[in-house]
Chains A and B, each alone.
Chain A
Amino acid sequence: MIELTERTRRISPSRLHEILATNDARSLVDPFMGLPTHLNYLKRHGIAVHGGDLLEWFVRVGEGIVVNDQTILRDSEVAEIVEMLPGRIYPLDAFKAWEGVFFTEEQCMYLGVWLDNVRNLRSDGQTGLAILGLWRVFCYWLQKAQAPDAMPDVPPSELAWSYIRQTESWVTTNLRHNTVRASDVLTTISAQTADALFIAPPARNSFRTADARIWMWEAWWQGNPYFTIEHAYKDSLFGARSADEQSYARAIASVLSAAANYPLLILQTTDRRLAEFESLVRNARPSVEILAPYPNEVYIIAKK
């Protein structure tokens, strides 16, 4: 059974929005965006948002709930995702490597079917919505493997149906241009301009302890059950190159340096890591304040 690690950091978009409103910021770039539900929140509240990440499935979800202003999945289209379609040949053993380790035979079969169906969707927006909905099914299964008696059995297609349908409610427009990109942090920072830069940098070597629910879903999207997150991060700024303390600090400093043109910088971290980030931010910006509502939710807010 796989261990589901406790999250160490909480991203609260409503709080982030309060910080942006206080500082009169109406656009934001997040180069470490992760699952972009927080960008969806900010978009709904009129902020122009631009996100970037190295994991492709995050970017795809961003195309569904950040970039996409109007495309949804209708009932017939959801039906074409959640079940095997007659006449189509599916790679039913695509995820056989996970069978008996993480998932049942039936679940692995569905993972193969869903991947094939999602890859056949007509638009990026729909693809993103389907990936998000199915990811929640995936998380449910992993959670149920931990607590089999504490959670009800729900047929895979029924669970997938309800989660995909639910994604529709997040689709909206803010009449602004919103983007996501699959790119390294420095590329995202330099490719956009905005009132604020939000960074929630990964902990040093965090790719080695990443949540299975995150990297395994990238493996699913890549159609490769042997995919590891080291692979995605290997040549990146926060990959193996910044494994030691000094090179990690240099990597953060380079991000702060690249962010020099952003009027507002919001760095989110934890109480434990506040000291190391605060000194780096104070070196880069003259005006710095700390908002620390919780040990796992600390904001370093820096202005030019």
Chain B
Amino acid sequence: MTLFQDPDAVPRTAASRLADVLDAFGAVGDRAAGNPPGTARRKAAAAASIARAAGRPDDEARALYFAGLLHAVGAIDNAGLRRGNTLSPRLATMARWDFPADGARVCAGIAALPAEIADWVRWQAETWDGTGFPDQLRWQGIPECAQLLQLADLVARASEIDETLAIVGGLSGRTIGPEFANVFVRWFHMTGGEVEATTVPVDILKPELSQPAPVLDLLADRIDAHNNTHGRRLRIARVVDAVAERVGLAIAERDALGLATRTFGAGELGLAHAEDESFDPLARLGIAARAENATIAADLFAGNATFEHAAEVLRARAAWYDGTGQPALIHDAIPKGAQILAAAIAYDALESVHRTQIREDRTSPADRLDTAAGTQFDPAVARALLDVTKAHA
């Protein structure tokens, strides 16, 4: 399915869409790294603000915004954080040290970003005394912007900003270079520790290279790799696209569904098991878990204009057609995209189990899904899905 067809009245530029996709990438990165929601946005704004206080050129301050936003993207599919990894705690820790370098590779692959962002992300966790990671750079070997990014990290994580001042003082000469501790003090006194609301510096993205769809696909693939569900979103997207076509979903809804299909797995990041490993996809027992994952994914994209409708689809995917799911929407109150996505996810899970397990009950996934039409799934959607999958078979 072609994404971003601008069906709404206010077409958005490719760079603006890309900025939103990068915002989503950053939010998912936070989730994978175990950071509190919103850390990436706070870090982005703080990095730009501190850079200005440090007298860095405006272009650099704006580029630092995106470095802050993408600070944790390397955590998605990091070997130490990936679901099902068999590393010992010690080796998992070592693997986690690589996430800035992994993030640098992600950033380097996004052509529209200023090139220097990749290495700022790579070296954001280096420390002045050389005990940081991944490269154990030390002293002036760490680029100044990477050190500013580290200061921004302290701001983004602070529960009480006043305490950060004392923390930075205590870290001076070890984690933070003494000069940069002074920069922080200057910034603190200029701003009172308040990070001003920042307009997303879209103009720093190269418009001719701004292609949001491939970046979104990259995010989707990394989510699948992290969750150890390789290829799931592609399988589901094939079914979703065909069903959306068959039921005549409007372009705007198809766009939202396309985004939701690529990102629903973000709600499962950090969980020990995929939702359908714990519960049969057709079982009522799994409603709460599915709803929780759906809400987590939807909340990640709050305030993101491009994902506004996709978030609605994500949030409603645990609703049951008969109104007994969560949220308790019924029939047409459930966005059609959410109904399609829910059925496609369930079908994929049933298929996976059918392929890999020897069951005494050899009921086919199609037959099982059919039994849930009218209760869990919209009968029209279920019928379309069964027709589509039969045609594929």
Chain A: residues with CB nearer than 8 A to chain B?
4, 6-7, 10-15, 18, 35, 37-38, 40-41, 44, 136, 139-140, 143-144, 146-147, 150-152, 163, 166, 169, 172, 293-294
B101 CB–A CB distance under 8 Å: yes
Chain B residues with Cβ under 8 A from A18's Cβ? 105
Question: Does B174 count as interface, using CB distance less than 8 angstroms?
Answer: yes
Q: Is the CB of A152 within 8 A of B173?
A: yes
Q: How far is the CA of A38 from the CA of B134 in the complex (A)?
A: 10
Q: Assuming the A-B contacts A37-B136, A140-B173, A172-B94, are A147 and B178 also in contact, with contact meaning beta carbons closer than 8 angstroms in the complex?
A: yes
Q: Tell me if B135 and A38 are in contact (CB < 8 A).
A: yes
| Residue in A closest to B97 when the chains form the complex, CB atoms | A44
Decide: A44 and B178 in contact? CB cutoff 8 A: no
| Chain B, Cβ-Cβ closest to A141 | B173
Contacting residues, chain A, for B172 (C-beta < 8 A): 150-152
The answer to whether B94 and A151 have CB atoms under 8 Å apart is no
Interface residues of B in 118-172 (CB under 8 A from A): 119, 122-123, 129-131, 134-141, 143, 169-170, 172
For the A-B complex, the count of residue pairs with Cβ-Cβ distances under 8 Å equals 74
Instruction: Tell me if A10 and B141 are in contact (CB < 8 A).
Output: yes
Contacts of A13 in B (CB 8 A): 134-136
- Per the bound structure, the CA–CA distance linking A294 and B170 in Å amounts to 31
Chain A, residue nearest B100 (CB): A14
Chain A residues near B182: list those with CB within 8 A.
Answer: 150
Q: Are B135 and A136 in contact (CB under 8 A)?
A: no
Q: Take A14-B122, A152-B173, A172-B91 as given contacts and tell me if A7 and B141 are in contact as well, using a CB distance cutoff of 8 Å.
A: yes
Interface positions, chain B 77-133, Cβ under 8 Å from A, are: 90-91, 93-94, 98, 101, 104-105, 119, 122-123, 129-131
Q: Which residues of A contact B179 (CB under 8 A)?
A: 150
Check B173–A136 contact: CB distance below 8 A: no
In whole angstroms, what is the CA distance A7 to B170 when docked?
A: 25
Query: Could you tell me the distance between the alpha carbons of A71 and B326 in the complex, rounded to whole angstroms?
Result: 54
> A12-B135, A152-B170 in contact; A136/B101 too (CB < 8 A)?
no
- Say yes or no for B219: interface residue by CB 8 A criterion: no
Q: Considering the chains assembled together, what is the distance between the CA atoms of A101 and B349 in angstroms?
A: 71
Give the residues in chain B near A140, CB-CB below 8 Å: 129, 173-174
Which are the 5 A-B pairs with shortest beta-carbon distances? A151-B173, A150-B178, A14-B101, A37-B136, A147-B178
Looking at the assembled complex, report how far the CB atom of A65 sits from the nearest CB atom of chain B, in whole angstroms.
10
Main secondary structure of the interface of B (DSSP, over half): helix
**A35, A38, A139, A146: which contacts B129 (Cβ < 8 A)?**
A139
B181 contacts A by Cβ under 8 Å: yes
Partner-A contacts on B (CB < 8 A) = 90-91, 93-94, 98, 101, 104-105, 119, 122-123, 129-131, 134-141, 143, 169-170, 172-174, 178-179, 181-182
**A294 proximity list for chain B (CB < 8 A):** 119, 143
Chain B neighbourhood of A6, CB < 8 A: 139-140
Q: Are the C-beta atoms of A150 and B173 separated by less than 8 Å?
A: yes
The answer for the CA separation of A130 and B165 in the assembled complex, in Å, is 32
Closest to A296 in B: B141
Once the chains are docked, how many angstroms separate the CA of A4 from the CA of B128? 14
Q: Closest CB-CB distance, B45 to chain A, in whole Å?
A: 26
Inter-chain contact A14/B141, CB cutoff 8 Å: no
Question: In whole angstroms, how far apart are the Cα atoms of A35 and B135 in the complex?
Answer: 12
CA distance A172 to B95 in the complex (A): 12
Q: List 9 A-B contacts (CB under 8 A).
A: A4-B139, A7-B141, A14-B122, A38-B135, A146-B178, A147-B173, A150-B178, A150-B182, A152-B172
Q: Would A136 and B129 count as touching, CB distance under 8 A?
A: yes
Determine whether the beta carbon of B135 is less than 8 Å from that of A144: no
State A15–B119 Cα separation when bound (angstroms).
10
Please name the residue on chain A nearest to B170 by beta carbon.
A152
Q: How distant is the Cα of A51 from the Cα of B122 in the complex, in angstroms?
A: 25
Cβ contact of A7, chosen from B122, B139, B174, cutoff 8 A: B139
The minimal Cβ–Cβ distance linking B57 to chain A, given in whole angstroms, is 17
Q: Are A37 and B178 in contact (CB under 8 A)?
A: no
Given contacts A140-B174, A172-B94, contact A152 B134 (CB under 8 A): no
Identity of the chain A residue whose Cβ is nearest the Cβ of B93 in the assembled complex: A169
Tell me the bound Cα distance from A18 to B104 in angstroms: 11
A152 proximity list for chain B (CB < 8 A): 169-170, 172-173
Q: Considering the chains assembled together, what is the distance between the CA atoms of A14 and B94 in angstroms?
A: 13
Flag if A37 contacts B130 (CB, 8 Å). Answer: yes
Q: Report A-chain residues with C-beta under 8 Å of the C-beta of B181.
A: 150
Choose among A12, A136, A147 the residue with the greatest number of B CB atoms under 10 Å from its CB.
A12
B149 to chain A, nearest CB (A): 16
Rounded to whole Å, the gap between the CB of A113 and the closest CB of chain B is 22
User: Whole-angstrom distance from the CB of B309 to the nearest CB of chain A?
Assistant: 39
A169 CA to B143 CA, complexed, in Å = 25
Query: In the bound complex, how far is the Cα of B94 from the Cα of A38, in angstroms?
Result: 14
Q: Which chain A positions have C-beta within 8 A of B141?
A: 7, 10-11
Q: How far is the CA of A38 from the CA of B138 in the complex (A)?
A: 12
In the complex, are the beta carbons of B140 and A14 less than 8 A apart?
no
Q: Nearest CB to that of B131 among chain A residues?
A: A166
Q: Which B residues are CB-close (under 8 A) to A163?
A: 131
Q: List B contacts of A37 (CB < 8 A).
A: 130, 135-136
Q: How far apart sit A6 and B179, CA to CA, in the bound complex (Å)?
A: 13
Instruction: Note all chain A residues with C-beta closer than 8 A to B130.
Output: 35, 37, 136, 139
Q: Contacts A136-B130, A139-B129: A293 and B135 contacting too (C-beta < 8 A)? A: no
In the complex the two chains form, what is the Cα distance from A13 to B172 in whole Å?
25
Report B269 CB to chain A, min CB distance, Å. Answer: 24
